[in-house]
Amino acid sequence: MDTILVLGGSGFVGRHVCEKASRLGWRVTVPTRRRGNAQHLLTLPRVEPVEAHVHDEAALTRLVAGHDAVVNLVAILHGDAAAFHKVHVELPQKLARACAAAGVRRVVHVSALGASLDGPSMYQRSKAQGEAALRQADLQLTVLRPSVMFGAEDRFLNLFARLQQTFPFMPLAGADTRFQPVWVEDVAEALLRCLRDPRTIGQTYEACGPDVFTLRQLVTLAGKWAGVNHGKGRPVVALPPALGRLQARLMELAPGPPLMSRDNLASLQVDNVATGSVPGLDALGIRPSPLAGIAPGYLGTRGPRSRLIEMRGLAGR
């Protein structure tokens, strides 16, 4: 494996994949609509951001050509049925055709834990449809299904920590839904191991952490680790389904990407934990890192220690 194309390489997971691939000496191409979106990748040796529109099938075919493998990380969390279909279904279909035209067969596709044609949300159903589109093609395919991912740049625990710095309590829909959070570094490592090991071709892996938490517990821990309310976090108030739907609807009407949508709420109807029906990270030789061993380190910079850390940084210049 010498050259890979990483769709979505400038995003949360992508930056970790690119860093690891660069260390291996691989050449990495990262398409982006605007080169400025990938400024953080420019310092990585052998990583080349290029301006391109991956939904343009002709452009995608030109991008795929000359690479040994393609990694697809492109996904959205919010949108209507058309948006989910465009990103999660049509793009994999275009990718399969582009790979056939360019003579590239090796693909690693990052889907989602809970992807199901019968899932309660558009997100889950479209993710399953995207997997199916790639499986139907003549590809050397590996699929990763991660649970919710955490890491220093995440929009999950960081969001809950930030909200608790503003609000006196946390109204929470789906409070009892269970998650098995996985460190983004472990997901990136799993992806690279799949690319390096041909025995992973044809396999699907569930990428989950070692511990299971309810959403309520995760919100509480985010507040505590961020030092909110003297390290106690804010009280969590579980919302009944009707109020949860109303809250999500109001958030959809607010400007910008919603913090919670009705489709997100639909996803919370089912637990986001490993099924055990397919291999996990251990099958790739990865011992997943516990949340408590990673998250306090980056969430702590939001709490009372943050000013001290900032002053130490200034003193060290």
| Domain boundary, last residue among 146, 165, 196 | 146
Asked if residue 222 belongs to a domain, the reply is yes
Same-domain pairing of 21 and 118: yes
* Residue ranges of E strands in the chain: 3-7, 27-32, 47-51, 69-72, 106-110, 140-146, 149-150, 170-172, 178-179, 182-183, 204-207, 213-214, 236-238
Whether residues 13 and 109 share a domain: the answer is yes
Same domain for 222 and 137:
no
7 and 114 together in one domain: yes
Whether residues 18 and 131 share a domain: the answer is: yes
CA distance 220 to 157: 10
pLDDT reported for residue 312: 37
Number of Cβ within 10 Å of residue 160's Cβ equals 25
Rg of the chain's alpha carbons, rounded to an integer? 20
* Domain total of the chain: 2
* Same-domain status, 130 and 231: no
Last residue within a domain, chosen from 90, 123, 146: 146
Q: Which two tokens stand for residue 307?
A: 């000013």
Asked whether residue 18 falls in the same domain as residue 135, the answer is yes
Q: Per-residue pLDDT for 306 more than 60?
A: no
pLDDT, tens digit, 9 for 90 and up, residues 51-109: 999 999 999 999 999 999 999 999 999 999 999 999 999 999 999 999 999 999 999 99
Give me the pLDDT at residue 254, please.
80
41 in the same domain as 132: yes
pLDDT digits (tens, 9 = 90+) for 110-142: 999 999 999 999 999 999 999 999 999 999 999
**Number of other residues whose CB lies within 10 A of the CB of residue 95:** 29
Q: What is the pLDDT of residues 35-52, one digit of tens each?
A: 888 889 999 999 999 999
Q: Which amino acid is at 218?
A: L
Q: Are 23 and 133 contained in the same domain?
A: yes
Residues 106, 217, single domain; the answer is no
CATH number at residue 76: 3.40.50.720
Model confidence at 302, pLDDT cuts 50, 70, 90, reads low
Please state, rounded to an integer, the average pLDDT across all residues of the chain. 92
pLDDT at 259 over 70: yes
The answer to whether residue 282 is domain-embedded is no
Segment 227-244 shows an average pLDDT of 94
- Is residue 94 located within the same domain as residue 8? yes
* 233 is a domain residue: yes
Assess whether pLDDT exceeds 60 at residue 304.
no
Its pTM stands at: 0.92
Please check whether residue 272 is in contact with residue 177, taking contact to mean a CB–CB distance below 8 angstroms.
Answer: yes
pLDDT at 316 exceeding the cut of 60: no
- Is residue 22 a part of any domain in this protein? yes
Please report where in the chains the tokens 């990380």 appear, as a residue.
73
Tokens describing residue 212? 């299971």
Residue 223 lies in a domain: yes
Residue 254 lies in a domain: yes
Residue 125 and residue 254 share a domain: no
Range of the domain at 311: 213-271+292-315
The last residue of one of the domains, among 100, 119, 146, is 146
- Residue 194 domain-assigned? no
Per-residue pLDDT at 308 exceeds 50: no
Q: With cut-offs at 50, 70 and 90, classify the pLDDT of residue 309.
A: very low
On whether residue 183 sits in a domain, the answer given is no
pLDDT tens digits, residue range 164-215? 999 999 999 999 999 999 999 999 999 999 999 999 999 999 999 999 999 9
Instruction: Report d(CA 208, CA 177) in Å as an integer.
Output: 15
Can you tell me the distance from the alpha carbon of 291 to that of 29, in angstroms, rounded to the nearest whole number?
A: 31
